[in-house]
Structure 1
Amino acid sequence: MTEPHRIAVLALEGSVGFDLGVPAQVFGAARDERGERLYEVRICTPDGGPIRCAAGFQVQPEHGPEALEWAQTVITIGMHEGSPVKDGVLDEPVAEALRRAAGHARMMSICTGAFVLAAAGLLDGRPATTHWGWARRFGRLFPDVLLDPDVLFVDDGDVLTSAGVGAGPDLCLHVIRRDHGSAVANRAARRCVIAPWRDGGQSQFIERPLPALTETSTAATREWALRRLAEPLTLRELAGHARMSVRTFTRRFRDETGLSPGQWLVHQRVEHVRRLLEDTDLPVDQIATQAGFGTAASLRQHLRARLGVAPSAYRRTFRPAG
């Protein structure tokens, strides 16, 4: 029997409670075919003592800094206050412990946990992301980090960072998929009742003045398109239905959805494929036709690009037996 992969989650004063629970929940849902856990997650603080979470409650962990030496993966989590997010400074003993851990462990961060890794000097010269609302401050405090504020997560091999709050599960599932394959990650997602994969990036969630749903909205055209996914649906046809020029329609569509019309259509078609794989016994070539992908090869390409899994494997995982 293979020993579970060891993960330590470092909680600092002012940590976000949601982020604190995500790794244990998502990695804890990853099981092998015998139902054995593939990961062991331990929560720790720098001195083993309690910390106050941002939501106003205290957490008393079962482990102290020794967990960082024990771990094969170390995760720093989001925080709303404290020196790392205020002035980019981390207590030197904590920074040194993280640097030592980086010598033997994969490093990850959720949300503003990237400030902690950056303050320890572990992100200099590397691509990373953090919550879009903190991106400007992050860039000012850590100019040597190659920050990308538009993505849900960044995988740079032995250092991985995720965007704000809800992107933590995305990163954890990505790591499970990388470690054990899509079937295990999809089962973990199913157990947690979360999406195995989300298209797009943080730009979907950035606060922007939302256009009023007037006659210039693309909402009616989106509803129209959803009823015609099997058809080719060119950009010119979509713009024509909305009674806009292609340029105006494309700009308006992105303002309202955070995606280009083409990206949105692919996402909707993949979602339709997923429903048909889960709810019907239709062969893949018929599903490809109904979803507008045309051929089974095209369907497989898009499904693998977005979910990391073939149609047959997805159906085996999510279609109830019998």
Structure 2
Amino acid sequence: MIDTAQRTQAIFMPLGYMLGQDPLLIKADMLVRRTGKNPITVRGLAHALGLSERTLNRRFRELTHEPPQAFIMRRRVEHARTLLETTAQPIKAIARATGYEDESSFRKAFRKLTLTSLQAYRAQRSIRAA
């Protein structure tokens, strides 16, 4: 079977490749990943990038087809996935390392994006690694 519909191939591109296409996204990604004690918010991201929140929202919708908050959540969950796959840190520590103060919010965000629980994800990845 051949898909003859004219569609963008962006959904098949790795996010890293897409981020490499625009300096704004590269810088935003670095800012989100440097969480620390004060995780970045949309307002903080706009300020750090020298944009108004409205301009940031417009640019993100143009570049990623999602609002900045969704981008921030997605990048945090991707970082959490890496930590789950490569470390044995407890869930609470991973939540804090990825910018979530509340473990429950972290669990909800992770499930929303991956459609699986943290424990199931870790178990699945550790089986593959073994």
Shared fold (TM-score, shorter chain, > 0.5): yes
Residue by residue over 1:115-158, the C-alpha shift from the partner in whole angstroms, topping out at 9 and shown as x without a partner, is xxxxxxxxxxxxxxxx646xxxxxxxxxxxxxxxxxxxxxxxxx
In the alignment, the residues of structure 2 paired with residue 248 and residue 276 of structure 1 have an alpha-carbon distance, to the nearest angstrom, of: 32
Correspondence 1:276 to 2:83? yes
Aligned residues: 123
Which structure has the highest helix share of the two? 2
Structure with larger Rg? 1
In the alignment, the residues of structure 2 paired with residue 309 and residue 302 of structure 1 have an alpha-carbon distance, to the nearest angstrom, of: 10
Pick the aligned partner of 2:71 from 261, 264, 270: 264
Structure with the greater relative contact order (CA < 8 A, sep ≥ 6): 1 or 2? 2
RMSD: 3.0
TM-score (norm 1): 0.34
Report the alpha carbon displacement of residue 212 of structure 1 after superposing the two structures with TM: 7.1
Residue by residue over 1:14-67, the C-alpha shift from the partner in whole angstroms, topping out at 9 and shown as x without a partner, is x41xxxxxxxxxxxxxxxxxxxxxxxxxxxxxxxxxxxxxxxxxxxxxxxxxxx
Correspondence 1:244 to 2:51? yes
In the alignment, the residues of structure 2 paired with residue 218 and residue 308 of structure 1 have an alpha-carbon distance, to the nearest angstrom, of: 25
What is residue 288 of structure 1 aligned with on the other side?
95
The answer (yes or no) to whether the contact 1:273–1:288 under 8 Å persists in 2 is yes
Structure 2 unaligned regions, length at least 5: none
Letter in 2 for 1:300: R
Identity, in percent, stands at 29
Which structure has the highest strand share of the two? 1
In the alignment, the residues of structure 1 paired with residue 53 and residue 86 of structure 2 have an alpha-carbon distance, to the nearest angstrom, of: 36
Letter in 2 for 1:235: V
Distance 1:295 1:248, change over 3 A: same
The answer (yes or no) to whether the contact 2:57–2:67 under 8 Å persists in 1 is yes
* 4+ residue runs over 4 A deviation: none
